Structure 1
Amino acid sequence: MAFNIVIPLFPGVTQLDFTGPAQMFAQVPDATICVVSESGASIKTDSGFSILPGHDFHNCPQADLICIPGGPGVFTAINNGALVSFVDRQCETAQYLTSVCTGAFILGAAGRLQGRRATTHWGYTSALEVCGAEFTPGRIVMDGNLITAGGVTSGIDFSLAVIARIWGERVAKAIQLRMEYNPAPPFTGGHPGASEPAILAEVQPFYDKALARVLAALAERAGKAK
């Protein structure tokens, strides 16, 4: 039987958050990738091009694993009732609940981070407690059937870790070789702990504003729930 991996998209999604994991998951023989949007219409990503999903919220198969990407569109997606309800329904019976980057906050909006250990993009980690989660440092954090990844590129590492957990390390290593995933970045500094202070000082103000937007969106959702 096929193992359904459901990836819900929303306007302003970061394309690498889902295309990275999708490319890896697509190499698993019995995995079926189900990309879905609310109406099945194309979704414009943060990279300026659009993706045409194969499903909408009504005809999407039930997930064995749900993988929620993030992106600048998450500020609005947190309060998209149709999206959050869809995620909640899928999570009811999915074996694995997963997210990449700020996709964690959509899981949080669906009430799926309460009392769980989780991570997200480094710029937003302090907002996880608003969702009832315990921020746990790490590029990939596993807490039972909840698996969360850090920012953007973490999704590739995350997908290989998930493949190893479900299908075995040998399968994951073969896929890693097939995809020639042998990263050797030209610079160090992809995380605040390794970044040059001047570069961090340049980038940090963007995330201070973005963090405030996530907190405001979560507060709006909490206000609606009262």
Structure 2
Amino acid sequence: MSDFNIGFVIFPGLTQLDFTGPFEVLSRLATPPSLAVESPFPPSKTHVIAKTMQPVASDRGLAILPSCTFEGSPPLDLICLPGGPGIVEALADAETIDFIRREGARAKYVTSVCMGTFLLGAAGLLAGRRATTHWAYVDLLPLVGARHEKARVVRDGNLFTAGGVTSGIDFALAIVTELAGPEVAKAIQLALEYDPAPPFDAGHPDKASEAAIALMRSRNETAHADIRRALESRSSPASG
């Protein structure tokens, strides 16, 4: 049985938890917990893919070391796109978008976290599909041909899109459930002690205070406008 290749595409200015959350879950498929259950899932390999082998800095300054380049990547069975403010530059990078388009067209699973959804959209992988992204950017989904569905994780066929940042962990556990079964997913969740009990019930605008929502919108105003311009530029006749 051949390896199942999982690839995370990283780029300067990504939000590291968009990447490291699902990476922590999905990389454990390479050494799944020993359980008294049969799993048809083949051995997996996790790849961290970038344009070059140079360290990639997140939006908070954390350096991440790729394991391979676009050119050196194996064919991917699952491709995952994290988000972050760096997607504005990534959207304008033909090499990045071409790689996503090529691998996304043949992958068994096409996935994203947070604003990474827009990279899938720029690669033409969201036309007519149901999807989600960070709550502050859902109004931009029609610019990539997607229909917003209000959920933390949205599945449309082989497409899995997750909302903001921490929802990447939930999406990854959903993928593990499909690939290796619910008991393996539960064991990984337990190993991570993923049992959130935040001090405030304010993790979604349906629950947060008006003051918190206003503060977040003001902090995201510039990024929202930048992403809109980048997406509209790609869809204009001059952009080809």
TM over 0.5: yes
Shift of 1:16: 0.4
Task: Give 1 or 2 for the bigger CA radius of gyration.
Answer: 2
Give the number of aligned pairs: 226
Query: Aligned partner of 1:187: which letter?
Result: F
1:156 aligns with 2:169: yes
Structure 2 counterpart of 1:92, from 100, 105, 124: 105
Q: Which residue of 2 aligns with 1:147?
A: 160
For residues 183-213 of structure 1, the C-alpha deviation after alignment (integer angstroms, 9 at most, x for no partner) is: 1111111111100111112221222332211
Structure 1, 192-201 or 121-130: larger mean CA deviation: 192-201
The answer (yes or no) to whether the contact 2:16–2:62 under 8 Å persists in 1 is no
The answer (yes or no) to whether the contact 1:36–1:55 under 8 Å persists in 2 is yes
Query: Aligned partner of 2:24: which letter?
Result: Q
Q: Which residue of 1 aligns with 2:14?
A: 13
Question: What is the alpha-carbon root mean square deviation over aligned residues?
Answer: 1.0
Find the residue that maps to 2:68 and give its secondary structure.
Answer: coil
The answer (yes or no) to whether the contact 2:105–2:125 under 8 Å persists in 1 is no
Structure 2 counterpart of 1:217, from 230, 233, 236: 230
Unaligned regions of 5+ residues in structure 2, if any?
31-42
Instruction: Give the whole-Å Cα distance in 2 for the aligned partners of 1:174 and 1:74.
Output: 33
Unaligned regions of 5+ residues in structure 1, if any?
none
Normalised by the size of structure 2, how large is the TM-score? 0.92
Find the residue that maps to 1:11 and give its secondary structure.
Answer: coil
The answer (yes or no) to whether the contact 1:34–1:55 under 8 Å persists in 2 is yes
Instruction: Give the whole-Å Cα distance in 2 for the aligned partners of 1:60 and 1:166.
Output: 22
- Where does 1:64-79 land on structure 2 (aligned, <5 Å)? 64-79=77-92
Q: Which residue of 1 aligns with 2:136?
A: 123
Q: Which residue of 1 aligns with 2:27?
A: 26
The answer (yes or no) to whether the contact 1:13–1:72 under 8 Å persists in 2 is yes
Instruction: Give the whole-Å Cα distance in 2 for the aligned partners of 1:218 and 1:61.
Output: 29
The answer (yes or no) to whether the contact 1:40–1:53 under 8 Å persists in 2 is yes
Normalised by the size of structure 1, how large is the TM-score? 0.97
Find the residue that maps to 1:27 and give its secondary structure.
Answer: helix
